[in-house]
Amino acid sequence: MILDTTYLLPLAQVDLDTDLLEAMARKEVDLSLEDVTVSLISIFELQAKTAKLNIPAESTVKAVEAIFKAFRVEPFHRFEIIRSSYKLRRLIPDYIDCVIVATAATLREDLATEDSLILANRETINKEYKIKVRNFKDIVR
């Protein structure tokens, strides 16, 4: 499963109601760390969001280190991901979100996200790319 950036923010001390990693630790989901892939662009986005939230740099560094240790990190410069991300622009105006969805589509892995625009287009994404788009409520038992 590909995790959207939102689910990585708690690693940098950002509190969320939808802490999927905590739910994984509590065994409230049928998902383990080995099942998780993160787009490299999510690491950039995490850095940008934590900088905007004035999270200390050390917390962000620790989060990035934890991501590289715990998850498979997929580069976003693969041709297939770029091609898919350009197609997704017709549905999703935020290019970083396009790259994250395109990563899931290219790897044929489901996507976990809280992004309302991605969730609003989940049926189209499912039909076109044969992946499921789910949110926290869909995943947690």
What counts of helices (H) and strands (E) characterise the chain?
A: 8, 5
pLDDT of residue 22: 94
**Distances from the Cα of 55 to the Cαs of 49, 102, 125, in angstroms?**
9, 29, 33
Strand, coil or helix: what is 111?
A: strand
pTM score:
0.95
Dihedral sign, Cα of residue 82, residue 122, residue 130, residue 23:
positive
> 99: domain CATH number?
3.40.50.1010
Q: What is the pLDDT of residue 77?
A: 96
Q: Distance (Å, rounded) from C-alpha 51 to C-alpha 49?
A: 5
Task: Domain count for the chain, please give it.
Answer: 1
What's the pLDDT score for residue 141? 83
- Asked if 74 and 103 count as a contact pair (C-beta separation under 8 A), the reply is yes
Q: What is the pLDDT of residue 11?
A: 97
CA atoms within 13 A on the CB side of 131: 23
Listed in sequence order, the DSSP H helices in 32-111 are 40-52, 57-70, 79-88, 95-107
Q: Strands 37-39 and 72-74: what pairing?
A: parallel
Q: How far apart are CA 45 and CA 49, in angstroms?
A: 6
In the chain, which stretches have pLDDT less than 70?
Answer: none
The boundaries of the domain holding residue 130 are 2-139
Confidence at residue 100, expressed as pLDDT on a 0 to 100 scale: 98
